[in-house]
Amino acid sequence: MRKTDREITDICEILAIIKKGKICHIAIVDNGKPYVVPMSYGFGYEKGFLTFYFHSPKEGRKIDVLRKNPDVSFDICVEKEIVIDRENACRSGRFYESVIGFGHVEFIEDIPAKCKALTYLMSHQSNGQSFEFDENATSSVCVFKIIVHELTGKRKAPQKTIESLPIKTTIGKPLKDIFLEKGAKFENGYFIIEKDDHNIIFASPNKQNIPDDILYNKDILIIDDDSQFLLMLKAALEIKGYTVETAQNGKIGKKLFSKNEYKVIITDDIMPESDGFEVTLELSKMGKIDRVIAVSGGGRTAPKDYLETFKHFGVRYGFSKPIDLQMLRTVLQHMLS
């Protein structure tokens, strides 16, 4: 990559970009001519391997071409704000994040495997909703996957944003200093970073009070009904050396933390069977509220409204989705130090 300062090599950040995107442009070759197809996708990341999932009518040009030549390139781009310089148009530009890669297409014929692929796809496209597929539904469509062999990420971002600050600058600094450096406001006992209505981070400057003599089974428990979010965040934290366990709803999460000890519990807000507020109330009764990090993707109202509710429960850290992974790692460093 020519501009190495824009290159993204951390797989956690690359997965976060893929999570934000919805359309993948697949580049194929048809009789020596380039052919690009935009397609909705789902994805999975397991044991260090990234796979994209797609569905399509059983017949068509792209299917014919892919069966003859399954080697492809692809890209996903998440556009950010555009800056216009009216005095010098050449200084105008668009901020963005992108992922480009190469892979090999394999068609999925097995019915259970097709159902799994379509579940990944619909979960990603619907921001974590659950779907079930039967043989009748899957038999009428073509399902294929791209097994990724090579992957690069790129970002053009404003200078000195949260994303562009290197994580190494946070080591050894008080958490309140880190938040103030990043433009946080102090309101009602909490530092608030509000980049827009959909990207909120809050933290209390109070020192965590977690006993040092507890033998923990896992570092972190993540409770969220979005399977793709669970997968992405688990991978992002395990790469950094944390041991992570997951639960797909609050009911399962409560069973886990009633039997096991965790240093940190990251919980979503709206979930089936038992939501994040019930989880937080239970942890508060157990005297473990200091271990909670709240996350919210919003719902009937904006994420910041749900996070405000968590604050009333005594939760000291909160993030809106998509989570700023670098900032999350900073908070974890301080909670686990």
- pLDDT score of 143: 96
Distance CA 123, CA 226 (A): 7
**Are 121 and 192 part of one and the same domain?**
no
**Are 94 and 113 part of one and the same domain?**
yes
Distance CA 101, CA 202 (A): 35
**Are 196 and 305 part of one and the same domain?**
yes
Choosing from 107, 123, 156, the residue where a domain stops is 156
Structural domain boundaries enclosing 144: 4-156
Dump the DSSP string for 263-311.
EEEEE-SS-SSS-HHHHHHHHHHTT-GGGEEEEE--SSS-HHHHHHHHH
Q: Domain of 139: which CATH number?
A: 2.30.110.10
**Are 146 and 228 part of one and the same domain?**
no
**Tokens matching residue 22:** 């919805």
**Tokens matching residue 195:** 């980049």
- pLDDT score of 268: 93
Candidates 186, 207, 182; CA nearest to 195 is: 182
* Rg from Cα positions in the chain: 22
Distance CA 15, CA 33 (A): 31
Reduced to 3 states (helix: H, G, I; strand: E, B; else coil), residue 43 is strand
**Residue 162 falls within a domain, yes or no?**
no
- pLDDT score of 1: 63
CA 210 from centre of chain: 27
Phi, psi angles (nearest 5°) of residue 167:
-65, -30
Q: What share of the chain is helix, strand, coil (3-state, %, to 5)?
A: 35, 35, 30
Q: Domain of 266: which CATH number?
A: 3.40.50.2300
CA–CA distance from 207 to each of 92, 109, 149, 173 (Å)? 44, 54, 44, 13
**Are 126 and 272 part of one and the same domain?**
no
Q: What is the pLDDT averaged over residues 57-74?
A: 95
Confidence of residue 231 (pLDDT cuts 50, 70, 90): confident
**Are 279 and 317 part of one and the same domain?**
yes
End-to-end CA distance of the chain, in Å? 36
**Are 320 and 180 part of one and the same domain?**
yes
Choosing from 99, 128, 156, the residue where a domain stops is 156
Distance CA 87, CA 85 (A): 6
Run of H or E residues at 82? strand 71-83
Distance CA 177, CA 169 (A): 11
**Are 220 and 241 part of one and the same domain?**
yes
CA–CA distance from 46 to each of 49, 57, 197, 207, 315 (Å)? 5, 27, 32, 35, 31
**Residue 315 falls within a domain, yes or no?**
yes
Lowest-confidence segment of 149-158, 188-197, 249-258, 322-331 by average pLDDT? 188-197
pLDDT tens track for 106-163 = 999 999 999 989 988 998 888 777 778 877 878 889 999 999 999 999 988 764 333 3
Q: Give the count of beta carbons closer than 10 Å to the beta carbon of residue 308.
A: 17
- pLDDT score of 235: 85
Candidates 160, 119, 178, 159; CA nearest to 143 is: 119
Choosing from 122, 156, 190, the residue where a domain stops is 156
Specify the number of domains making up the chain. Answer: 2
Q: What percent of the chain has pLDDT above 70?
A: 85
Lowest-confidence segment of 33-42, 68-77, 301-310 by average pLDDT? 301-310
Q: Give the count of beta carbons closer than 10 Å to the beta carbon of residue 262.
A: 23
**Per-residue pLDDT for 167 more than 70?**
no
**Per-residue pLDDT for 300 more than 70?**
no
